[in-house]
Chain A
Amino acid sequence: MYKILHKESLGTNLHLLEVEAPRIARKAESGQFIILRLKEEAERIPLTIADYSREKGTLTIIFQEVGFSTRELAGCQAGDTILDLVGPLGVPSEIENYGTVVCVGGGVGIAPVYPITRDLKKAGNRVFSIIGARNSGLLFWREKMAEVSDQLFITTDDGSEGRKGFVSDVLKEILDKEKVQRVWAIGPMIMMKVVADTTRPYGVPTIVSLNPIMVDGTGMCGACRVAVGKETKFACVDGPEFDAHLVDFDLAMKRAAFFKDKEQQALAMCKCGGERR
């Protein structure tokens, strides 16, 4: 059992949980993820690690309520426990001093981009960061991101905060002005695809973190397979980060949508409080 020490609302349907998990916190690195299972009947949910404290033995995870399982998780309070928590899974980000880098976080993707940004800054990079979402209510961690960036840009689709437009608009401006060595982008699949298309003509190596459907997270089930270049890769053991210019995003989006109707079915059958009938 893993105790929830702290819960916080970060915006519209956005939640932060700080969980006691000393064994995992001791090993966690930027770019890795965990899988949790709230209770016996629950799904195994993969979530990227947003932050960790080796001293306190805690992990921070951030998620958006999208279906039944995330709504159920959102119903948890500080003091509650999570039945299973396993990790850290996946390959850590390759943090080096590249020179100038851009970190892009879209919506809930701001969470996993934060520790990568922090580590890149610590490694001596000049860091431009861009965070964006549909509207202001879906943005969070502005100060934390600003702290670890040389310059932070904010965009919203509706103009309710920062620049009206997409993260890719700002990214393009930076690429036009600066010699950028590497770009990280984490967010909705479509955003990552647009970022990949934006950086491609500039030839800037671009890394995305994929969050495909997954069950065990240790390579056993093969549910998370993604086409990268000519190869099939398992996001859980080969990733979750991949070369954005090689990922087949169209296939990845179709695979991610496979259980959408089942999620709707589960959601329709549950009461608002997240309980099962």
Chain B
Amino acid sequence: MPVQDAQARKNNFHEVALGYTPEMAGEEAARCLNCKNPQCVKGCPVEVDIPGFIQALKEGDLKRSARVLKEKNNLPAVCGRVCPQESQCEARCILGIKGEPVAIGRLERFVADWERASGAPQPERPVPKNKKVAVIGSGPAGLTAAGDLAKMGYQVTVFEALHTPGGVLMYGIPEFRLPKEVVRQEIDYIRKLGVDIQVNQVVGKTFTVDELLQKEGYDAVFIGTGAGLPNFMNIPGENLTGIYSANEFLTRTNLMKAYLFPKYSTPIKVGRRVAVIGAGNVAMDAARTALRLGAEESSIIYRRSAEEMPARHEEIEHAKEEGVRFMLLTSPVAYTGDENGHVKGMTCQRFSLGEPDESGRRRPVPIPGSEFELEIDTVVVAIGQTPNPLVPRTTEGLVIGKHGNIVADEESGATSRPNIFAGGDIVTGAATVILAMGAGKRAARSIDEYLKRKLRREVKG
């Protein structure tokens, strides 16, 4: 797939991957074998009819192709950009055994982009059902659950704490990887399905889940509030200025458009030498964002080796092309600051790898006496998040796990309370967009079953 030149793109926020031309898409689609028993579908958390949409594309019927995609996936232009296809659908593709799998993600993106450009048709609205569902959080899990429930005819209201819906798609993933206009248009589609999205509503503060159920007449609630609180390492000097959580760094940039300061009023400060702690997708996003904000050097500091890096291969490659340095088997142990309390250096320690730990990855073991100093003036801590406590703390009788997550059945999203369902990062801890969408989809299905049972009881009663 064509991409923006690395030297040019590290100075702008425009999308890196440019997408297929119609000819490229046609050629790629032609490679699909249209397997009788398509393995790719089993690798897709939202069960997209992959051969179906590719065959329609092959036949040049893009309208039908888009319709097939959207039967299962409410956010195809997002998924076509940020899904880890290489470990999901494409990992199962039969062509991948001996050669290159079909580039399913790129084809998905092509079809979704074509539809947006040519004007998506007004979706059909089903016969309305007399039941109301509240969805807390408008990230990938919430939007998927809301879209699916609306397709079934339920009256759905989504409550979002920030001023813009989209969750991590808006505040977390940079413009150069996922343009915000793409997200906005996919959210418009969810709205066209009949979903009411209310922003600036902090559930747990503005009102509680129980108030929604008891006072506002909702019949069921889906909680998809994501992974809210940033983790820090709790090492000396970590509260110096110039040390950001990845969430703050990315929220300032993506949601608040700090890269357009002072046209937009939210500031951000990036020094000459930036260190990003961690090696997931969020860390790659932060390291690449730092370059675009003017850093001369941007380094990934990670305590394991290249093999264990959790980020997508493509993101790591893109980061390398743009000049991000990788300091592996290294981790900070303390920060030092100047007289203004601003970070000016960090003490790092080298690691070696021991036996695998509970995550299945080899455990990093610090090497005694290996400490060394590094001059830096900006740090971004990207070592994950723990679930936001606002909803769990304020909802009576909800069973909470030891990490502050909501305990819910993986398959159904059912929690300890019959009318409350949950899914996505608030249940699993920080994961991917598509896994959250899968959870939203399964929860929508079980909310439907729950409400049908409720309806039957009402009819009988």
Residues 240 to 280 of chain B near chain A (Cβ within 8 Å): 240-242, 244-245, 247-248, 251-252, 256-257, 261-267, 269
B38 within 8 A of A: no
Report the separation of the CA atoms of residues A69 and B163 in the bound assembly, to the nearest whole angstrom. 17
Cβ distance B181 to chain A, nearest Cβ, rounded Å: 14
Cβ-defined contact, B232 with A89, below 8 A: no
Determine which of A69, A89, A257, A258 lies in contact with B202 in the assembled complex, contact meaning CB atoms within 8 Å: A89
What 0/1 readout, one digit per residue, does chain B (352-390) give for beta carbons within 8 Å of chain A? 000000000000000000000000000000000000111
A86:B200 contact, CB within 8 angstroms:
yes
A219 with B389: CB separation less than 8 A: yes
CA distance A1 to B228 in the complex (A): 26
B206 touches A86 (CB 8 A): yes
Question: Closest A-chain residue to B249, C-beta based?
Answer: A221
A15 interfacial by beta-carbon distance below 8 Å:
no
How close is B385's CB to chain A, nearest CB, in angstroms? 8
User: Which chain A residue lies CB-closest to B161?
Assistant: A218
Chain B residues within 8 Å of A27, by CB: 205-207
Docked complex Cα distance between A41 and B241 (Å)? 25
Whether B238 sits at the interface, judged by CB under 8 Å, is yes
Residues in chain B within 8 A of chain A (CB atoms) = 161-163, 171, 199-202, 205-207, 228-230, 232, 234, 238-242, 244-245, 247-248, 251-252, 256-257, 261-267, 269, 340-342, 388-390
Residue interface bits A257-271, CB-to-B below 8 A is 1, else 0: 111001101100110
Number of interface residues of A (CB under 8 A): 46
Contact B229 A23 (CB under 8 A): no
Q: How far is the CA of A19 from the CA of B254 in the complex (A)?
A: 29
Binds B, one of A126-134, A163-171, A222-230: A222-230
Q: Is the CB of B265 within 8 A of A227?
A: no
**Distance A41 CA – B256 CA, assembled complex (angstroms):** 8
Inter-chain CA distance A148–B234, complex, in Å, is 43
What are 18 A-B pairs at a CB distance below 8 A?
Answer: A27-B207, A42-B264, A84-B200, A86-B163, A87-B202, A89-B205, A215-B266, A216-B162, A220-B171, A220-B229, A220-B230, A254-B340, A254-B341, A255-B239, A258-B241, A262-B267, A266-B262, A266-B265
| 236-277 of chain A: CB within 8 A of chain B | 237, 250-251, 254-255, 257-259, 262-263, 265-266, 269-270, 276
CB of A44 within 8 Å of the partner chain: yes
A88 at the interface (CB under 8 A from B): yes
Q: Are B248 and A221 in contact (CB under 8 A)?
A: yes
**How many Cβ-Cβ contacts under 8 Å join chain A to chain B?**
128
In the complex, per-residue mask of A82-93: 1 if CB is within 8 Å of any chain B CB, else 0: 011111110000
Give complex CA distance A5, B65 in Å. 51
Distance (Å) between the CB of B108 and the closest chain A CB? Answer: 29
A234 within 8 A of B: yes
Question: A262 touching B229 by the CB < 8 A rule?
Answer: no
State the Cβ distance, A84 to closest chain B Cβ, in Å. Answer: 4
Nearest opposing residue in chain B for A231, CB measure = B234
Inter-chain contact A219/B390, CB cutoff 8 Å: yes
- A219-B228, A220-B247, A232-B232 known; A37 vs B340 contact (CB < 8 Å): no
Check if B389 sits within 8 Å of A237, measured CB to CB.
yes
With both chains docked as a complex, state the minimum distance between the C-beta of B424 and any C-beta of chain A, in angstroms: 15
Q: Contacts of A250 on B, CB cut-off 8 Å?
A: 341
Q: Are the CB atoms of A43 and B229 closer together than 8 Å?
A: no
Q: Which residues of B contact A83 (CB under 8 A)?
A: 163
Least CB distance, A67 to chain B, in whole angstroms: 9
Known A-B contacts: A86-B202, A215-B256. Give 15 more (CB < 8 A): A215-B251, A220-B229, A220-B388, A221-B248, A222-B232, A226-B239, A232-B232, A237-B390, A250-B341, A254-B342, A258-B241, A258-B269, A258-B342, A263-B267, A270-B262
Q: Which of B247, B264, B342 contacts A41 (CB 8 A)?
A: B264
B238:A269 contact, CB within 8 angstroms: no
Contact across chains for B341 and A251 when beta carbons are under 8 A apart: yes
In the assembly, what is the distance between CA of A187 and CA of B340, in Å? 22
Alpha-carbon distance A84/B161, docked complex (angstroms): 11
Q: Is the CB of B269 within 8 A of A262?
A: yes
* A219-B230 Cα distance, complex, nearest whole Å: 8
Residues on B with C-beta less than 8 A from A85 are 200
User: Which chain B residues border A184 with CB–CB below 8 Å?
Assistant: none
List of B residues within 8 angstroms of A237 by Cβ: 229, 389-390
CA distance A83 to B207 in the complex (A): 20
Contact partner of B262 (CB less than 8 A), chosen from A44, A86, A220, A276, is: A276
CA distance A220 to B244 in the complex (A): 12
Evaluate contact between A222 and B241: CB separation under 8 angstroms: no
Contact with B along A35-51 (1 / 0, CB 8 A): 00100011110000000
A181–B263 alpha-carbon span in the complex (Å)? 49
Do B256 and A44 touch across chains, with their CB atoms under 8 A apart?
yes
On whether A257 and B340 interact (CB within 8 A), knowing A83-B163, A215-B252, A222-B229, the answer reads: yes
User: Which listed residue (B242, B266, B390) contacts A44, Cβ 8 A?
Assistant: B266
Nearest CB of chain B from residue A86's CB, rounded to whole Å: 4
Whose C-beta in chain A lies nearest to the C-beta of B203?
A218
Least Cβ distance of A184 to chain B in Å? 22
Residue of B whose beta carbon sits closest to that of A218: B161
Q: Considering the chains assembled together, what is the distance between the CA atoms of A269 and B200 in angstroms?
A: 30
> How far apart sit A46 and B176, CA to CA, in the bound complex (Å)?
29
The answer for the CA separation of A27 and B394 in the assembled complex, in Å, is 14
A124 to B171, CA, bound (A): 46
| Minimum CB distance partner of A2 in chain B | B200
| Closest B residue, CB atoms, query A270 | B262
